[in-house]
Amino acid sequence: MENLFNMFLASEVIVPTNATEFTFWIGAMAMAAASVFFLLSLDAGGGKWRNSMLVSALITGIAAVHYLYMRDAYASMGGDGVTAFRYVDWILTVPLMCVEFYLILQKAGAPKSLMWNLITLSTIMLVTGYVGEAGHGDAVIFGTISGLVYFGIVYILWLGSAAELANKAGGAVLEAYTALKWFVLVGWAIYPIGYMAGTEGWYSGLFSGLSGQMDLIYNIGDAINKIGFGLVIYNLAVAK
């Protein structure tokens, strides 16, 4: 507890001086605040969506702690110091977002295999992305593999078995599902843009205006997707 407290109140304050550093500070606080809100809302709407709310709180909570580390790593080492923390955060939170899909479709009869398929695909997407981004393999090749797997996730959610279950469920569940699948199609597409801004490849000319902005882009993506996902679930919980 004291350690966590010290992380928030570092004795030597590192003052943010550019947009990326600011978004690490704001990101840490926004994620922490969102977690408090989701935890206090576990029983919103009668507690029917308690597990989903809890998962939402875990997603932003895990991110809040990683943002504290990333904030300091970025201030002392720049972008390279952030990569490992970034991917540890994602490898925990993105599968939890897959769990979120499973939980809201559970009452419509979603099989466990749906959850495991999504988790497996998202893990492959992130591991290949890490290999390319950290320079352990060709950025273009591993980025492309990661991107193809991402399309696999989009396919399952938009046109595959999950979409069918959501239609069957209808009502507030279908509404929440539809919002979440838009997050995956549009919100998650922010990440490959960040990746292309931060790695070298055929796309480097295309994204030259964003060069060096990878962490800023990822931070914006995280705020939109992690807090957004939780708010969709909250909305579902309080729906009639």
Ligand X SMILES: *C/C=C(C)/C=C/C=C(C)/C=C/C1=C(C)CCCC1(C)C
Q: Tell me, residue by residue from 26 to 65, as one string, x for binding to ligand X by CB under 6 A and - for no binding.
A: ----------------------------------------
User: What is the residue type of 93?
Assistant: T
The count of residues in the chain is 240
Phi, then psi, of 179 in degrees rounded to 5: -65, -45
Instruction: Report the residue number, 38 or 169, with the smaller CB distance to ligand X.
Output: 38
Please report how close the Cβ of residue 195 comes to ligand X at its closest, in angstroms: 4
Tokens in use for 120? 């497996």
143 binding ligand X? (CB under 6 A): yes
Q: Tell me, residue by residue from 155 to 194, as one string, x for binding to ligand X by CB under 6 A and - for no binding.
A: ---------------------------------x--xx--
User: What is the residue type of 122?
Assistant: S
Instruction: Report the residue number, 14 or 54, with the smaller CB distance to ligand X.
Output: 54
14: helix, strand or coil = coil
Tokens in use for 164? 């069918």
> How far does the chain reach from its first CA to its final CA, in angstroms?
39
Task: Choose the stretch contacting ligand X; rule: CB under 6 A; options: 33-41, 71-79, 169-177, 220-228.
Answer: 220-228
Task: Choose the stretch contacting ligand X; rule: CB under 6 A; options: 21-29, 69-77, 121-129, 209-217.
Answer: 121-129
Instruction: Report the residue number, 95 or 236, with the smaller CB distance to ligand X.
Output: 95
Please report how close the Cβ of residue 9 comes to ligand X at its closest, in angstroms: 26
Pick the closest to residue 104 from 30, 37, 39, 181 (CA basis).
181
82: helix, strand or coil = coil
The crossing angle, in degrees rounded to 10, of helices 83-105 and 171-182 is 160
Residues that bind ligand X (CB under 6 A): 90, 93-94, 125-126, 129, 143, 146-147, 150, 188, 191-192, 195, 222, 225-226
